[in-house]
Amino acid sequence: MDLFSSAGELTPIPVEDGELAFMPQLPLALPTAEVLQRLLDETAWREEMITVWGKQHLQPRLSAWYGEASYTYSGKTFAPLPFTALQLQIKEAAERATGHRFNSVLLNCYRNERDSMGFHSDDEPELGPEPAIASVTFGEARTFILKHKRLPRTVKLDLTDGSLLLMAGALQANWRHGINKETKPRGLRVNLTFRHIYSAPISK
């Protein structure tokens, strides 16, 4: 990371076969602790079931889907709830910071070090061929790991309180990402991934 980059600046992270950029502090009118508390209180959190090898499990985190378009994820279709005023504030800040427009957000709550997200690409057809996804974090930092699909490349990023990570270009086509479980105690973390959903799937 460039030593001279300031907290509110979006700095490219050079990676092969995709675009990544990081901003340590997304400019917002509210302190991050207040945003975190309101996201915890105002979100209709759900503990979703997933099927792995034909067996039903609870997902190791809480999640919720808001915005203007329904979304299919891990074989399930989520009907959205309308954006809240706070989500709109964060969305507009993310749009100003990245120059991209978003119409949906997936929220994930990692309650402690045992919550996680398996390795995946956000490459559903309704996201379009080169999706721009803005990932905004509040609360405890967790390590976001990216693994190239064909090359022996791994990138690890500490997604800290109030930060924004932009994934764009061919990143989803060439990389998977996830959040591992940890052994060291970890506090609550809420992550929002703002996306643009096209109502009719775009053919690749």
3-state secondary structure of 14: coil
**154-159 β-sheet, strand order:** 117-120, 175-179, 142-148, 154-159
Name the minimum Å distance from CB 133 to ligand AKG: 7
Taking the C-alpha atoms of residue 79 and residue 110, their distance in angstroms, rounded to an integer, is 22
Applying CB under 6 A, among 159, 164, 166, 197 the residue interacting with ligand AKG is 159
Residue 120 near residue 108, CB atoms below 8 Å: no
Question: Using CB under 5 A as the criterion, which residues of the chain lie in contact with Mn ion when the complex forms?
Answer: 122
| 91 vs 177, beta carbon nearer ligand AKG | 177
- Return the residues of window 105-124 that contact ligand AKG according to CB under 6 A: 106, 108, 117, 122
With binding defined as CB under 6 A, does residue 182 bind ligand AKG?
no
Name the minimum Å distance from CB 6 to Mn ion: 27
**How many Å is the Cα radius of gyration of the chain?**
16
Nearest to 85 by CA among 37, 42, 136: 42
Name the minimum Å distance from CB 4 to ligand AKG: 26
Applying CB under 6 A, among 80, 132, 191, 194 the residue interacting with ligand AKG is 191
